[in-house]
Structure 1
């Protein structure tokens, strides 16, 4: 059995990562699940959460807004709607986005679809800040 699998992390804008990997922890629609080499084939809807790439102190965490995962025994591809790596969060920009999303969400209470959009933006901003806090605690 292989000790690594090919991992590709993609957003609508670009290929973020393409590397051999040993383990992932993925925020699936039904809850978090792990991916190791030789995993049973699976396609999963992803929800907002933390994508962990690798294991132990070497693991890298991403705030992910949602998307899809295709898991095969020797390859995994994550198609992320939006994501932010924990070590590259621009706190000032995320705080500004959080305030804007919160204001817009309050203003759109009567329009359900618009309100839902802003709630998702607000939740992602908060997730980015949480992931960044994890990074700060890890590096101190």
Structure 2
């Protein structure tokens, strides 16, 4: 993870292996950390993407590091602040935009099933707020909502 953030070359499939091994470990033992693998997967996947598009992979790894955290934990503001704290103020605009997009794209799920849902992320989905994520049921509205008013 540190190497990918510093811009070093990483195995193209490192993030896939980490995801696979994390899934296997959690399936077998039902215990273990999930935050560190999330950070590793985000950093190495975006580092690979940076290499693929010919950009500096360290910047992509930095953004992937915090974006996947914002995505899986529903914490875009905290993840943006973490990016500034760890990587400096220069990354703030990119990390903030990326964290908010990741937060909105993931839907109403979280690594923490006891997290209380306080807002709906889309007008196209009716969601009950004020409940734990594990107890929330989604209802998709009319498909015409997808068009901008």
Query: TM-score, normalization: structure 1?
Result: 0.29
Query: TM-score, normalization: structure 2?
Result: 0.27
More helix by share: 2
More strand by share: 1
